[in-house]
Amino acid sequence: MKVQPPELSVMATTAGETERTTRGSAIDRALGEKQSRRMFLRTAVAGGCAVAAAKWLASGPQQTTFEPFQVAKTDSLVPGDSLTFTIPGTSTDGLLVRLDQDSYIAVDRRCPHLGCPVLWSRPANQFQCPCHRAEFDARTGAVLNGPPLDGLRRFAVERNDDALWVRAKA
């Protein structure tokens, strides 16, 4: 592509002298010859996008904390048993497991890999995803085997007298 030189015009000044200027918009004259209108617009749009992205990143993730809700009675689960539940007001399913006499864990039932429903395997004492054979640690939800990069999302379990309560964040 061949670049054409700018057209020149003669402009009269008050002293009777003539001055040579380039034709073009006020933006072109303000920016000079080194930056075209197209470059100016590209820079302006990129700058606007950068400002919008910075505001979005600075706002951080918005998490909703739900009120604790009762899931089960302590005597309804023996060590090794599991129970599925749904967080009230959402479609998020969870899985509560009684690990031993005094230990419980509640996790989001969605596998972090592709969202398949995670199951509790009592014989293996671990969470398992049947879609890609992922395995997760019973006490932490961390990945033991399989394609997921992240572990299971955990929910806080509270024991009040004979009731088990879950506090979840969405």
Mean pLDDT of 111-140: 93
pTM: 0.60
Q: How many CB atoms are closer than 10 A to CB 143?
A: 19
Together in a domain, 162 and 122: yes
Does residue 3 lie within any of the structural domains? no
- One-letter amino acid for residue 107 of the chain: V
Exposure b/e, 101-126, CB count within 10 A at least 16 = b: eeebbbbbbbbbbeeeebebeeeeeb
* pLDDT band per the 50, 70, 90 thresholds, residue 168: confident
Residue 30 has pLDDT above 80, yes or no: no
For position 63, what pLDDT does the model report? 58
158 pLDDT higher than 70: yes
| Residue from 33, 57, 31 nearest 44 by CA | 31
Give the CATH number, domain containing residue 88.
Answer: 2.102.10.10
Higher-confidence residue: 24 or 67?
67
Q: Which of 11-20, 97-106, 115-124, 127-136 has the lowest mean pLDDT?
A: 11-20
33: in domain: yes
> Are 96 and 140 contained in the same domain?
yes
pLDDT at 32 over 90: no
Instruction: Give me the mean pLDDT over the 8-31 stretch.
Output: 55
Q: For residue 62, what are its two tokens?
A: 């918005």
Is there a single domain that holds both residue 37 and residue 90?
A: no
Last residue of a domain, one of 35, 59, 83: 59
Please answer whether residues 112 and 154 qualify as being in contact, where contact means their C-beta atoms are separated by less than 8 angstroms. no
Which tens digits make up the pLDDT trace of 56-72? 666 655 556 678 888 88
| 47 and 114, same domain (yes or no) | no
> For position 143, what pLDDT does the model report?
95
| Residue that wins the pLDDT comparison between 85 and 30 | 85
Whose tokens are 């209108």? That residue is 37
Residues 110 and 29 in one domain: no
How many domains, in total, are found in the chain? Answer: 2
Instruction: List the end-to-end C-alpha distance of the chain, in Å, as a whole number.
Output: 55
Residue count (the chain):
170
pLDDT at 16 over 80: no
Residues 6+ apart with CB under 8 A from 130: 116, 119
CB 139 within 8 A of CB 126: no
Percent of the chain with pLDDT over 90: 41
One domain for residues 126 and 149: yes
- Comparing 95 with 28, the larger pLDDT belongs to 95
The model's confidence at residue 38, banded by pLDDT at 50, 70 and 90, is confident
